[in-house]
């Protein structure tokens, strides 16, 4: 599987929220890939800043994005995952 490249500048919290919402809304593989790549970059950054609660929530969001990309139904946890990331990753 070839992932698309996203520059580090686009891997910020507002972008992750927007890309994740698009993935959950549409379920389109390309939208989900963009969200996964941005989320992965941001979770690596959060880990390097010792923001482990944020990093953990980002990993959970990634799992939800992967399930959605693999044609899983949008579940009730997708909105919670996004809200958790917004709350615990602000200021990074």
Model confidence pLDDT, tens digit, residues 49-86: 999 999 999 999 999 999 999 987 767 778 899 999 99
Reported pTM: 0.85
Find all residues with CB under 8 Å of 23, minimum gap 6, and list them.
31, 32, 34, 35, 36, 65, 68, 69
Average pLDDT over residues 18-26: 95
Q: Is the pLDDT of residue 10 over 70?
A: no
Q: Above 50 in pLDDT, residue 9?
A: no
Residue 30: inside a domain: yes
How far is residue 20's CA from residue 74's CA, in Å, rounded to a whole number? 12
Per-residue confidence (pLDDT) for residue 43, from 0 to 100: 95
What's the average model confidence in pLDDT over 11-23? Answer: 94
Note whether residue 39 is domain-resident: yes
- 35 within domain boundaries: yes
Judge whether residue 92 has pLDDT over 50: yes
Domain-located, residue 4: no
Contact between 86 and 13 (Cβ < 8 Å): yes
Range of the domain at 49: 11-89
Q: Is residue 5 part of a domain?
A: no
The average confidence (pLDDT) of the chain is: 88
In this structure, are residues 43 and 65 in contact, taking their beta carbons and an 8 Å threshold? no
Q: For residues 2 and 14, what is the distance between their CA atoms, to the nearest angstrom?
A: 24
Structural domain count of the chain: 1
Instruction: Determine, yes or no, domain membership for 2.
Output: no
Would 6 be classed as within a structural domain?
A: no
């Amino acid at each position: 599987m070839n992932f698309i490249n996203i520059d580090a500048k686009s891997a910020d919290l507002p972008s992750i929220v927007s890309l994740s919402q698009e993935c959950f809304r549409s379920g389109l593989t390309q939208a989900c890939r963009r969200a996964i790549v941005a989320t992965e970059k941001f979770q690596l950054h959060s880990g390097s800043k010792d923001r482990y609660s944020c990093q953990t929530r980002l990993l959970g969001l990634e799992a939800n994005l992967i399930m959605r990309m693999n044609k899983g139904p949008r579940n009730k946890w997708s909105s919670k995952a996004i809200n958790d990331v917004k709350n615990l990753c602000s200021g990074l």
